[in-house]
Amino acid sequence: MYDYRLSLLMLVGIYLISPVMMDWWLDDRAAWYRPFGIWALLIALYIWFNSKQQDNDDI
Protein backbone atom coordinates (compact mmCIF):
# COMPACT_ATOMS: atom_id res chain seq x y z
CA MET A 1 0.00 0.00 0.00
CA TYR A 2 2.78 2.45 0.89
CA ASP A 3 4.61 1.85 -2.38
CA TYR A 4 1.55 3.02 -4.31
CA ARG A 5 1.38 6.24 -2.31
CA LEU A 6 5.07 6.92 -2.85
CA SER A 7 4.79 6.26 -6.57
CA LEU A 8 1.73 8.50 -6.82
CA LEU A 9 3.51 11.26 -4.91
CA MET A 10 6.52 11.03 -7.19
CA LEU A 11 4.34 11.11 -10.32
CA VAL A 12 2.48 14.19 -9.10
CA GLY A 13 5.79 15.86 -8.20
CA ILE A 14 7.25 15.09 -11.61
CA TYR A 15 4.10 16.41 -13.30
CA LEU A 16 4.24 19.68 -11.38
CA ILE A 17 7.98 20.25 -11.76
CA SER A 18 8.42 18.91 -15.29
CA PRO A 19 8.01 22.20 -17.25
CA VAL A 20 10.74 23.91 -15.23
CA MET A 21 12.92 20.80 -15.29
CA MET A 22 12.68 20.41 -19.05
CA ASP A 23 13.92 23.98 -19.64
CA TRP A 24 16.77 23.41 -17.19
CA TRP A 25 17.55 19.96 -18.61
CA LEU A 26 17.69 21.10 -22.26
CA ASP A 27 19.90 24.13 -21.66
CA ASP A 28 22.75 24.03 -24.20
CA ARG A 29 25.26 25.62 -21.84
CA ALA A 30 24.75 22.93 -19.18
CA ALA A 31 27.16 20.15 -18.31
CA TRP A 32 26.70 16.89 -20.23
CA TYR A 33 26.21 14.85 -17.04
CA ARG A 34 23.31 16.92 -15.66
CA PRO A 35 20.52 14.52 -16.80
CA PHE A 36 22.39 11.58 -15.28
CA GLY A 37 22.75 13.44 -11.99
CA ILE A 38 19.04 14.22 -11.93
CA TRP A 39 18.12 10.58 -12.53
CA ALA A 40 20.64 9.40 -9.92
CA LEU A 41 19.11 11.80 -7.40
CA LEU A 42 15.57 10.60 -8.16
CA ILE A 43 16.60 6.95 -7.85
CA ALA A 44 18.45 7.62 -4.58
CA LEU A 45 15.43 9.45 -3.13
CA TYR A 46 13.11 6.60 -4.12
CA ILE A 47 15.40 4.01 -2.51
CA TRP A 48 15.76 6.12 0.63
CA PHE A 49 12.00 6.69 1.01
CA ASN A 50 11.27 3.04 0.30
CA SER A 51 13.80 1.84 2.89
CA LYS A 52 12.30 4.18 5.50
CA GLN A 53 8.85 2.70 4.88
CA GLN A 54 10.15 -0.85 5.15
CA ASP A 55 11.80 -0.02 8.47
CA ASN A 56 8.48 1.34 9.78
CA ASP A 57 6.67 -1.81 8.61
CA ASP A 58 9.07 -4.04 10.54
CA ILE A 59 8.23 -2.38 13.87
**Model confidence pLDDT, tens digit, residues 6-52:** 778 778 878 887 787 778 777 778 788 877 887 888 888 888 877 87
What sign results for the dihedral spanned by CA atoms 50, 52, 3, 36? Answer: negative
Q: What is the pLDDT of residue 42?
A: 81
Q: What angle do CA 11, 3, 1 make, to 5 degrees?
A: 120
DSSP state of 27: -
3-state secondary structure at position 37? helix
Q: What is the pLDDT of residue 23?
A: 80
* Predicted TM-score of the model (pTM): 0.50
CA-CA distance, 40 to 59, in Å (whole number)? 29
